[in-house]
Every structure is written in structure tokens, then in C-alpha cells.
């Protein structure tokens, strides 16, 4: 959670410097709140993560055994991948 900024104490009458300062503070705060790719947390708990990256968007999390991984660009994650091996031959079937 992003803490709200401390706002300046307003003057008794209109003051252009006060309004300018207030607008600057609010602009900085809203830019910070709406900034993409910002996560501030002390603890994160992820439940129900998929066990395969197939069909997930770039940046999505998935679990590979006891390791949490991130889907990265440039990697192929085909759905339904199976591997059958024989002596001297590897056959990969993707469905």
C-alpha cells in the first residue's frame, strides 16, 4: 500500500504558491499510485498458481515443482507436450 502524502496546511486566503505546491504533491502521488509495474509489499502469498506456463501471458507466474517461475518472452511453452524415448530415438509429440 502506498501511503498518502502529507498535505501542506492551507493559508487563510488564496495563495498561488500553496495551490502550486498542493498540485505538485497530488500529481506526484497519483503518478506513483497509477505507475505500472509497481508492487510494494512486505509479504506476498500466491495460491492456485498454474503448474504449466502453456497459454499464460508474458510475465505470468507458474510453479515448476517447488520453484516459482515467470513466463519470459522468447521461450516456447507448448501445451500438452509429451516425450517418448527409445534407444537412439527421441519422439516429441505436441498436441
State whether 87 and 66 are in the same domain. yes
- Cell numbers 519422439: residue: 91
What domain count does the chain have? 2
pLDDT for the residue 45? 83
Q: What is the DSSP string of 52-93?
A: --TTPPTT-EEEETTEEEE--TT----TTEEEEEETTEEEEE
CA distance linking residue 51 with residue 49, whole number of Å: 7
Structural domain for 16, as ranges: 1-40
Q: Give the pLDDT confidence of 60-84 residue by residue, as tens digits.
A: 888 888 888 888 877 766 655 544 4
pLDDT for the residue 18? 92
Q: With bands split at pLDDT 50, 70 and 90, how would you rate the model's confidence at 86? A: very low
State whether 91 and 72 are in the same domain. yes
Q: Give the pLDDT confidence of 26-66 residue by residue, as tens digits.
A: 998 888 877 776 666 777 788 899 998 888 888 888 888 88
State whether 52 and 92 are in the same domain. yes
Query: 24 versus 2: which is more confidently predicted?
Result: 24
Amino acid at each position: 500500500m502506498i501511503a498518502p502524502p502529507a498535505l501542506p496546511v492551507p493559508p487563510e486566503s488564496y495563495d498561488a504558491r500553496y495551490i502550486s505546491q498542493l498540485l505538485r504533491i497530488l500529481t506526484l502521488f497519483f503518478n506513483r499510485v497509477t505507475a505500472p509495474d509497481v508492487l510494494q509489499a512486505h509479504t506476498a502469498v500466491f495460491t492456485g498458481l498454474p503448474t504449466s506456463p502453456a497459454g499464460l501471458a508474458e510475465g505470468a507466474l507458474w510453479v515448476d515443482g517447488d520453484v516459482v517461475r515467470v513466463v519470459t518472452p522468447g521461450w516456447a511453452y507448448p501445451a500438452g507436450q509429451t516425450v517418448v524415448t527409445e534407444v537412439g530415438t527421441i519422439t516429441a509429440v505436441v498436441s
